[in-house]
Amino acid sequence: FEQGTLSGQQVCITAGPTREAIDPVRYISNHSSGKMGYALAEAAAEAGAKVTLISGPASLAPPPRVELVRVDSAQEMLDAAEKQLGNCDLFIAAAAVADYRPASVAEQKIKKNNEQMTIELVKNPDIVATVASHPQRPFTVGFAAETEKVIEHARGKLERKKLDLVIANDVAQPGIGFNSDENAVTVVSADDQQRIDQTSKHKLARTLVELIAQRLKPNN
């Protein structure tokens, strides 16, 4: 494993959903399983990298030889990512971060006394954009789950968040993406795009790691 395409590289990967507390017993979250991020962590470790996996709540076993940092909320995920920044050559954001969180967390369980209730939400920090705008930024890779104009939206994300690569998947296609065991993606960079046909997330992760490793070399 020491001779792999990522040997000597330190890789940080975010994965899974985040949970945004409403009160002591409730939260807002999403259906992300964490499968893609965990598969990438496993593939990067197999390619010889030292991997830190920053994971929101997911019911997956951590891959062997991967350091797992468990977090709950987007803010905790950002804190963990910033703590790793100094020893991170490559950052891959595969987490499905909740876009919004409740403006305040109720101290006690909210009672169902009213027919209607409103929860005010505020925007969460963008973790991958924060990492990419750091002065000593690692090579930064993001995901884009889109239902239309997939490449166009991915390219927008690449520019807006200052990413090196965006891995775009069309979540409108049945049988791939969120929660599924298979995925098909297009890898978008400033000067190029490359389609990877539908396959298991494990095979896809190995292909993506090889592709990223090729791009990483000239930068280091």
Q: Is 128 annotated as a binding residue?
A: yes
Task: Find the shortest distance in angstroms from Cβ 13 to ligand C5P.
Answer: 10
Of 30, 114, 124, 183, the active-site residue reads 30
CA nearest neighbour of 54 among 31, 42, 38, 32: 38
Distance of alpha carbon 167 from alpha carbon 155, whole angstroms: 10
Does the annotation place 91 within a ligand binding site? no
Of 17, 89, 102, the closest CA to residue 50 belongs to: 89
30 labelled catalytic:
yes
Q: Which is nearer to ligand C5P, 97 or 176 (CB)?
A: 97
Nearest approach, Cβ of 15 to ligand C5P (angstroms)?
9
Residue 92: closest CA among 183, 195, 212: 212
How far is residue 147's CA from residue 109's CA, in Å, rounded to a whole number? 36
Q: CB nearer to ligand C5P: give 128 or 216.
A: 128
What is the Cα–Cα distance from 187 to 56, expressed in whole angstroms? 24
Encoded amino acid at 110, one letter? I
Q: Which is nearer to ligand C5P, 5 or 169 (CB)?
A: 169
Query: Would the annotation count 143 as a binding residue?
Result: yes
Q: How far is the CB of 114 from ligand C5P (least distance, A)?
A: 31
By three-state DSSP, how is residue 9 classified?
coil
* Binding footprint of ligand C5P on the chain (CB under 6 A): 14, 74, 93, 95, 97, 124, 126-128, 142-144, 157
Question: What six digits make up the tokens of 45?
Answer: 């470790």
**Least distance from ligand C5P to the Cβ atom of residue 146, Å:** 8
Q: Which is nearer to ligand C5P, 11 or 48 (CB)?
A: 11
- Is 157 among the annotated ligand-binding positions? yes
Pairing of strands 20-23, 26-28: antiparallel
Catalogue the active-site residues: 30
Binding-site positions: 99, 109, 125-128, 143, 157, 161
